Amino acid sequence: MRQPHANSSRSALPTRRRFLRWLTGCMVGAAAYSDWWLRRALARHSRHLTVVNVDRVTLKVPFRPVPARAMAREIPHWQYTELCFVKLASGVTGLGETLLFYTWGVPSEAAVRRVLGKNAAEYLWDRSLGAGLQMALFDAVARTLEVPVHRLLGRQVHRETPLSWWNIDMPPEDMVAECKEAYRSGYLAYKTKGRPWFDVWAQVEQIARALPAEFKVDLDFNDTLLDADRAIPILKELEQYPQVGIYETPIPQGDVAGNKRIKAAVRTPIAMHYGNPAPLVALREDVCDGFVVSGSAAQVLAAGHVAAIADKPFWLQLVGTGVTAAFSLHFGAVLSHATWPAVNCHQLYVHQLLDRPIPVRRGMAPVPDGPGLGYTLDPSVIDRFRVPRPPRRPEPPRLIEVSWPDGRRMYIANTGAVNFMLTLAQRGKMPYFERGVTTRLVPDDGTEHWREVYRRARKEPFLTRSSLF
Ligand SMILES: [Mg+2]
């Protein structure tokens, strides 16, 4: 006689085993299915994100007339920009830009080969790719995912971000004209250079007469005030005008003691390029009020996060035409302390290269919320500005004359190195800041006299008691 219990127990065991086998089978099947599904989804996505083509085009974008006069002295090569187009399997093309002779990284042929056929998302943070290729990958991936670039960079904390107008040093009249143009265009900040070869007092005084106090001029001295003793009286004089907004790098940034003295003595906030001195030293010694942040996407975010922890404002300095400026807006969206006006320099050019200008109102530009950069290329610029890529930085002969009111002149010629005038001033090999000093490019009139002065100045810059022209 079968015992019901034993019976049920005997028959239950195979049932449970069958159930467990079935469950295991289901789990294996489900795992296999989910694995298959995941692989398929990834394959589908990575198929969309595969880089199928990279094109690069060099443009020579002219400067507007007033900046052109000033840029012609030391940095005419800023007209050369390389656009980068990254096409993904999704059918989307991303746009990037490298200012060929002023950038943290020019994309190489090897970098282009490295990303071809690969998943674009894998390379977004690869700094070795260079500026334009990295930017184009961000634009392409964000467009494919139908999100703005800033969604790939972090959490949006700003809906608009401050922008600054930019110009190199120029005579006071030109500077005032540019400040007025900036103010008319909605800007409230103008970043420029403080140089011993221009009258910084006249520059600031004339701006103060022509523009309201809400319009700020930020002066970057690039070390040329040389030391705290000489810098402090000048900085204190200039800051009597409410239009003076920020001083950048008045003396060498490595001079921690000197910079601390300056910061204590002047009311105007002091900006320094992030990284020199080392960020921890800069923060521990409290040498500056805020930073200038530039570099690759990862470097900009890292610096921005350190600044946020230290509660220091900074401005973004990603330099190019409107294409780079558009990319910069997305960093401004996610970095809480990007509250000083960004320096993108796109105002230099006759065309921003975009389908529409970046609007600025009361100093602020809206963060784009469309896919990718939120701006596209104006396709007509390719035919208008395309040139063969220069094999090296173009180095046209330039002879520069610095004039003082007592008749002294200094003649300086391009040497083949960038910032050939700035370097002289940084080394103290040029008369220090004085009132009444001005500077011009001496046009090559084709005479032997010009060639002779040029040759002599190129060998070594020299001072004379009176003008040679
Ligand atoms: Mg600077």
Q: What is the mean pLDDT of residues 293-313?
A: 98
How far away, in angstroms, is 253 Cα from ligand 1 center? Answer: 11
Our separate counts of H helices and E strands in the chain read 15, 16
* Closest to 321 measured CA to CA, from 157, 166, 118: 166
CATH number at 106 reads: 3.30.390.10
C-alpha 30/C-alpha 24 separation (Å) is 9
How far away, in angstroms, is 282 Cα from ligand 1 center? Answer: 16
C-alpha 305/C-alpha 298 separation (Å) is 11
Q: Are residues 284 and 198 in the same domain?
A: yes
- Return the pLDDT at 1: 38
How far away, in angstroms, is 303 Cα from ligand 1 center? Answer: 16
Q: End of a domain among 117, 152, 187?
A: 152
Q: What is the mean pLDDT of residues 32-46?
A: 59
384 found inside a domain? no
Q: Are residues 315 and 167 in the same domain?
A: yes
388 found inside a domain? no
382 found inside a domain? no
How far away, in angstroms, is 251 Cα from ligand 1 center? Answer: 12
- Model confidence over 369-380: pLDDT tens digits? 999 999 999 999
245 forms bridges with which residues in the sheet?
none
386 found inside a domain? no
Q: Are residues 256 and 339 in the same domain?
A: yes
10 found inside a domain? yes
How far away, in angstroms, is 292 Cα from ligand 1 center? Answer: 7
How far away, in angstroms, is 248 Cα from ligand 1 center? Answer: 7
How far away, in angstroms, is 294 Cα from ligand 1 center? Answer: 10
How far away, in angstroms, is 416 Cα from ligand 1 center? Answer: 21
**DSSP per residue over 177-218, as a string?**
HHHHHHHHTT--EEEEE--TTS-HHHHHHHHHHHS-TTSEEE
C-alpha 246/C-alpha 242 separation (Å) is 11
Contacts of 208 (CB under 8 A, 6+ apart): 241, 242, 243
How far away, in angstroms, is 247 Cα from ligand 1 center? Answer: 10
Q: Are residues 166 and 219 in the same domain?
A: yes
- Return the pLDDT at 25: 63
Q: Quick check: 28 pLDDT over 60?
A: no
**DSSP per residue over 149-170, as a string?**
THHHH-----SEEEEEEE----
Neighbours of 6 (CB within 10 A): 9
How far away, in angstroms, is 201 Cα from ligand 1 center? Answer: 20
C-alpha 221/C-alpha 223 separation (Å) is 5
228 found inside a domain? yes
How far away, in angstroms, is 219 Cα from ligand 1 center? Answer: 9
How far away, in angstroms, is 249 Cα from ligand 1 center? Answer: 7
Q: Are residues 272 and 343 in the same domain?
A: yes
C-alpha 39/C-alpha 43 separation (Å) is 6
- Return the pLDDT at 8: 41
How far away, in angstroms, is 12 Cα from ligand 1 center? Answer: 81
How far away, in angstroms, is 355 Cα from ligand 1 center? Answer: 29
How far away, in angstroms, is 328 Cα from ligand 1 center? Answer: 17
Q: End of a domain among 341, 376, 411?
A: 376
CATH number at 307 reads: 3.20.20.120
Q: Are residues 217 and 327 in the same domain?
A: yes
How far away, in angstroms, is 273 Cα from ligand 1 center? Answer: 6
Contacts of 45 (CB under 8 A, 6+ apart): none
C-alpha 172/C-alpha 175 separation (Å) is 5
Q: Are 367 and 359 in contact (CB under 8 A)?
A: no
- Return the pLDDT at 431: 97
- For residue 36, the SS3 value is helix
Q: Quick check: 3 pLDDT over 80?
A: no
How far away, in angstroms, is 359 Cα from ligand 1 center? Answer: 25
Q: Are residues 229 and 363 in the same domain?
A: yes
**DSSP per residue over 426-443, as a string?**
HTT-SPPP-TT-EEEE--
How far away, in angstroms, is 339 Cα from ligand 1 center? Answer: 17
Q: What is the mean pLDDT of residues 399-408?
A: 98
How far away, in angstroms, is 250 Cα from ligand 1 center? Answer: 10
How far away, in angstroms, is 343 Cα from ligand 1 center? Answer: 10
How far away, in angstroms, is 220 Cα from ligand 1 center? Answer: 6
Neighbours of ion ligand 1 (CB under 5 A): 220
Q: Are residues 250 and 329 in the same domain?
A: yes
- Model confidence over 152-171: pLDDT tens digits? 999 999 999 999 999 999 99
How far away, in angstroms, is 290 Cα from ligand 1 center? Answer: 12
- Model confidence over 227-263: pLDDT tens digits? 999 999 999 999 999 999 999 999 999 999 999 999 9
How far away, in angstroms, is 46 Cα from ligand 1 center? Answer: 40
* Closest to 304 measured CA to CA, from 270, 269, 331: 331
Q: Are residues 208 and 337 in the same domain?
A: yes
- Model confidence over 318-359: pLDDT tens digits? 999 999 999 999 999 999 999 999 999 999 999 999 999 999
In this structure, what are the phi and psi dihedrals at residue 351, rounded to the nearest 5 degrees? -145, 135
247 found inside a domain? yes
Q: Are residues 301 and 169 in the same domain?
A: yes
Q: End of a domain among 340, 361, 376?
A: 376
Q: Are residues 333 and 444 in the same domain?
A: no
Report the domain count for the chain. 4
Q: Are residues 135 and 270 in the same domain?
A: no
How far away, in angstroms, is 246 Cα from ligand 1 center? Answer: 12
- Return the pLDDT at 5: 43
Query: Is 181 exposed, middle or buried, given 0-12, 13-18 or 19+ CB atoms closer than 10 A?
Result: middle
DSSP state letter for 367: P
How far away, in angstroms, is 274 Cα from ligand 1 center? Answer: 10
Instruction: Provide the whole-model pTM.
Output: 0.90
How far away, in angstroms, is 67 Cα from ligand 1 center? Answer: 18
Q: Are 366 and 424 in contact (CB under 8 A)?
A: no
Domain span holding position 189: 154-376
